[in-house]
Structure 1
Amino acid sequence: MDTPIISVITVCYNAVVSIEETMLSVLDQRYDKVEYIVIDGGSKDGTLDIIKKYANRLAYWTSEPDKGIYDAMNKGISKATGNWLNFMNAGDQFIDNKVLSKCFESSFHDNVDVLYGDVVYKYKFGKRMVEAGNIQQIINHMVFSHQSTFVRKQIMKDGFNLKWRLAADYNFLLGCFWEGRKFVHVGIPMSLVELDNGATHNNYSQSRKEVLGIHKQFGYSFLNAIGCIFLICSIFMLVI
């Protein structure tokens, strides 16, 4: 069995406090085929000094203004040559140095489009491990963290839709679900994510509005989704 190349993309801006820890969590993975890409938005706080410190271990890096986090991610996608993509934002990190080997030196990824795991959320007051939700619930909300997600590069060729400034990852993954893409849950914590920071946390109300807009884009609302779940459960009960 061939071990696939994993392209990990980190986007950052003025992240001097956290970028090194994030980068080392990727660079220290005990997995031979990691392609690491760092897209900086033109930082002015010393972030570039840290990126340059590890430049010889990066497949690609750049520092230039962008149109937002998903525009930066799309730049990373355009440079990625791996079989799988992961987005590990500055401030977040892999939970340990064996995450990639656990996922890709096994058969978990065979005939799969999206591989996802659990997450440990880091708050100012402590940490909390959260198991990924049932994939059927993705019609209502994001049921796993994108930092704990690996997506086949071939289905991300068009990147994220920049119409959605805060929830483009949810829009993409919900689209994959409706298209019938195969999702597989690997029952291990994959990433440590700062929940007290980040665009979604700092703009929660706007993020929720985007999620509702995404639902409408796919032709349903939250109430429709509840009805759909009720119907599925009813059919299941009749079958058994």
Structure 2
Amino acid sequence: MYNSLPKISIVTPSYNQGEFLEETILSVLNQKYPNLEYIIVDGGSTDNSVEIIRKYESKLTWWISEPDNGQAEAINKGIERATGDIIAFMNSDDTYIQGSLFAAGHYFASHPEARWICGHGLMLGLPERPPAFLEVRVPNNLLEVLFKNFVAFSPASFWKREVFHRYGKFSTSYHYCFDVDFYARLLSNGVACVPLNYPISSYRLHPGSKTIAFTDSFDKEILAIREKHITNISSWRIQLEIVKQRCRGAEHHLYNAISLWRSGNISGGLKALLQTLTFSPMGVIFQIFRWFLRVTMRTTKIQKN
């Protein structure tokens, strides 16, 4: 039974994430996947990361600790070393959910035509809230990728190795959104993302995570990626999506601002709020109106009961 499972190579890029790294490593090793190759690429950490890596050295296929130019370059180093049929990367502050590698391996074994799959996820670290279930919603076309109208985050994704050989690895021009650029490249070349109905990984929000700490940098890179790939999309569809995107973006930024505020990071929350107002003042008004309607409807329902 296990002989038919494809070899999976997991690459973990890491830099000064000693607080979370061991949990990440164990989430990979404890999968007990029989045909696993695990690679860790550390960017020359100055905390206890290397000590943690050495603790599990005998169970790793390869690891290195040396300065690099960011996450994309670190992952690319791992991909160059990888020999698996399937390749994925797991950030050093995220974790795999038990059984996820078997779910991915079985899917590829029974669907040899698939080249890119993505499963569900969990978001951890939300202040005063339990883990949030992130149901995968794969991008079906280039427009959905460029305007972030999808839920398919990278730690829940797996790709056939041939995809990297044919279409290239992650672009080191982007520090935060290299995965979005990669998605756009794949969809432009007819590589579809297949949704996997299985929870794959947990995504952790914390003050040092890129999603919270570098929201403005994300926006700048998304705009650059959009300019790079958008030439073949009709203008009316672009304008419509821009309006929808600004409303979604405002909701995302407001959510970050509230999360930072609740966690006690008042200055970070105010900064995120200012970024939201700069990004889309009309989007903020729209989201406040939506929230007002929700509260009104709930209040009306309670009064009727």
Q: TM-score, normalization: structure 1?
A: 0.88
Q: Is the 8 A contact 1:115 1:185 kept in 2?
A: yes
1:228 Cα offset (Å):
7.7
Higher mean alpha-carbon deviation, 152-161 vs 26-35, is at 152-161
Q: Is 1:166 aligned with 2:176?
A: yes
Counterpart for residue 184 of structure 1:
194
Residue 100 of structure 2: aligned partner:
99
Q: Which has the higher helix share?
A: 2
- CA radius of gyration, larger in: 2
- Mapped partners of 2:237, 2:106: distance in 1: 40
Q: Distance in 1 between matches of 2:239 and 2:146?
A: 9
Q: Deviations over 1:153-179 (max 9, x none)?
A: 111133111111211111001111121
Match of 2:209 among 198, 202, 205: 198
Instruction: Tell whether the 8 Å contact from 1:109 to 1:115 is kept in structure 2 after alignment.
Output: no
RCO higher in 1 or 2 (8 Å CA, sep ≥ 6)? 1
Q: Deviations over 1:10-61 (max 9, x none)?
A: 0111121111100000011132011000001111211111100110100000
Using the alignment, how far apart are the partners of 2:241 and 2:22 within structure 1? 45
**How much does 1:2 deviate?**
2.9
Aligned structure 1 segments of 4 or more residues deviating by more than 3 angstroms: 106-109, 220-229
Aligned counterparts, 1:36-51, within 5 A: 36-51=38-53
Name structure 2 gaps, 5 residues minimum: 243-305
State how 1:49-88 maps to structure 2 within 5 Å. Answer: 49-88=51-90
Listed as ranges, the matches of 1:1-240 within 5 Å are 2-96=4-98, 98-106=99-107, 107=109, 109-125=111-127, 126-136=130-140, 137-141=144-148, 143-157=151-165, 158-196=168-206, 197-220=208-231, 224-225=237-238, 227=240
1:219, distance to aligned residue in structure 2 (A): 2.4
Identical pairs, percent: 29
In the alignment, is the contact (CA less than 8 A) between 1:70 and 1:162 conserved in 2? yes
Corresponding residue pairs, total: 228
Please identify which structure carries the higher strand content: 1
- C-alpha separation in 2, matches of 1:101 and 1:72: 25
Matches of 2:239 and 2:132, distance apart in 1: 28
Residue 227 to residue 73, structure 1, CA distance change in 2 (3 Å): same
Q: Structure 1 residues 92, 133: closer, same or farther in 2, change over 3 A?
A: same
RMSD over aligned Cα atoms: 2.1
Distance 1:128 1:65, change over 3 A: same
